[in-house]
Every structure is written in structure tokens, then in C-alpha cells.
Amino acid sequence: MDENDIIAFVSDLPGVVVDTATEESGAPEAAWGDTFIFYDPDDSAPTYRRYPFATIVVSDYPGFDTASDLNRPGIFRLNIFVGSSMYEDLVGHPADQHAEHLSEFDFTGVDRILPHPVYGSQAWVSILNPGEATAEQARSLLLDAREKAVRRYDRRH
């Protein structure tokens, strides 16, 4: 499962908008190549007002997010908002205790579900290069994250 497989999978879901950051889009240079996945059935909200339910990050953000060592050749990270209950089931501790458990995880590990190194406290998980061990679960988590985004969207509209 590579970035294109993930983008193709979510792009086929109703109401999903996929935006890959580029220089032309006005995104900061550190984000160029990263992909943001939103639920916006009308594709009408300005990008800065959307809240992604998943992202694909392809490089480190120096001084902010480097724990996954994404600057290694061929490495990318799928990030998924899973909610508090699912987060605890997946990583073994509540999201609000993320900081206390950072040392327990090797955030460079490939094809494993991990707490997001920065946004774990907000109930996000990450998978570096989903493969044989995690691809099916990644698809399931993406479907669930989309459903959460649909409910959030419906409440606001």
C-alpha cells in the first residue's frame, strides 16, 4: 500500500476531498507533497477551514515533527483520527496520557499502528508505509474516520 493506493481508496468514498500540498496551492514549503483528506460533500469550504480526518506526510517538519524520520527514502506516514476509545484500544493508553508514554514507542517502525508522535494526545494514530500487517486495518480505520467526519459535518450543517 503506497500513497497513491491510499489516495485512490479515499478518493472513491462519497464526499471525500483530497488535497496534496504544493507550492502552487500556497502551502508552506515544509508541507509540499503532504496529502490532506477531508469530508466536504459540497467541496465548498476553504481549505484552511477544513479539518482533515486523515493525512499522508512524506517528510519531517524540522523542529516540530521528526520522530518518524520521514526523510528516509521511500518512507511516508499515514495519520488517521480514530477518536479516544479506538485510540486507547489500538495503542494501550488513553490519548490524554500520550506524553507519558512517548518513550515506549519506536516511531520509526514500519507497518505498525502507533500513536501519532505529535497528535497522539488528540486521538490520532499513524502507520509508516502500511503493508501486509496493517493495510486492511488502515482501510477500516479510514472508513471509520470518514464516518466520524460525516457526523461532525452533519452536526455543523
What's CA 42's distance to the chain center, in Å? 22
pLDDT for residue 44: 82
For residue 56, what pLDDT is reported?
Answer: 98
User: What's the pLDDT score for residue 48?
Assistant: 63
**Which residues are paired to 115 by β-bridges?**
125
Q: Under 8 Å CB-to-CB from 83, ≥6 apart: which residues?
A: 123, 148
What is the chain's alpha carbon radius of gyration, rounded to the nearest angstrom?
Answer: 15
The 10s digit of each residue's pLDDT in 58-102 is 999 999 999 999 999 999 999 999 999 999 999 999 999 999 999
Q: What is the pLDDT of residues 11-43, one digit of tens each?
A: 999 999 999 999 998 899 999 999 999 999 988
Angle between helices 3-11 and 135-156 (to 10 degrees): 40
Q: Is the pLDDT of residue 46 over 80?
A: no
Note whether 1 and 130 are within 8 A (CB): yes
Shortest CA distance to 138 belongs to which of 96, 110, 104? 110
* pLDDT per residue as tens digits for the range 112-137: 999 999 999 999 999 999 999 999 99
State the average pLDDT over residues 132-149: 98
Q: What share of the chain is helix, strand, coil (3-state, %, to 5)?
A: 35, 20, 45
Higher pLDDT: 45 or 26? It is: 26
pLDDT of residue 81: 98
